[in-house]
Amino acid sequence: MTKPLVAIRSVSKSFGEFQALKNVSLDIRPGEVMCLIGASGSGKTTLLRCINQLAAIDSGGIWLDGELLGVREQGGRLHRLSEREIGRQRLKTGMVFQRFNLFPHKTALENITEGPLQVQGRKPDEVRAEAVELLRRVGLSAKADSYPAQLSGGQQQRVAIARALAMKPMLMLFDEPTSALDPELVGEVLAVMKELARSGMTMVVVTHELGFAREVADRVVYMDQGAIVEQGRASDVLGTPREERTKAFLSAVI
Partner 1 sequence: MKPAPALAEGFPDLSGMRIAREPHWFRWLSAALIVLVLAEIARAFAAGQIEWSYVSRFLTAKVILEGIVNTMVMAVLAMALGIFLGVVVAIMRLSPNPVLKTVAAGYTWLFRGTPLILQLLLWFNLALVFPTIGIPGLWSARAVDVMTPFLAALLGLGINQGAYTSEVMRAGMLSVDVGQYEAAQAIGMGRLRALRRIVLPQAMRVVIPPLGNEFIGMVKATSLASVIQYPELLHNAENIYYANSRVIELLIVAGLWYLLVVSILTPLQMLLERRFARGTLRLAR
The residues of the shown chain that bind partner 1, judged by CB under 8 A, are 52, 54, 83-84, 87-88, 90-91, 93-95, 97, 99, 101-107, 114-115, 118-120, 147-150, 160, 163-164, 167
Q: Least distance from C-beta 192 to partner 1, angstroms?
A: 18
Q: Least distance from C-beta 118 to partner 1, angstroms?
A: 6
Q: Least distance from C-beta 169 to partner 1, angstroms?
A: 10
CB nearer to partner 1: pick between 120 and 235: 120
CB nearer to partner 1: pick between 95 and 229: 95
- Are 189 and 140 spatial neighbours (Cβ–Cβ below 8 Å)? no
Q: Least distance from C-beta 98 to partner 1, angstroms?
A: 9
CB nearer to partner 1: pick between 114 and 218: 114
Q: Least distance from C-beta 208 to partner 1, angstroms?
A: 20
CA distances from 108 to 53, 95, 104 (A): 25, 17, 9
Could you give the strand order of the β-sheet that contains 33-37, starting from the edge strand earlier in sequence?
93-96, 171-175, 202-206, 33-37, 219-224, 227-232
CB nearer to partner 1: pick between 52 and 207: 52
CB nearer to partner 1: pick between 155 and 246: 155
CA distances from 67 to 18, 25, 88, 222, 253 (A): 29, 16, 12, 26, 37
CA distances from 39 to 44, 50, 71, 129, 202 (A): 9, 18, 30, 41, 24
Longest alpha-carbon distance in the chain = 55
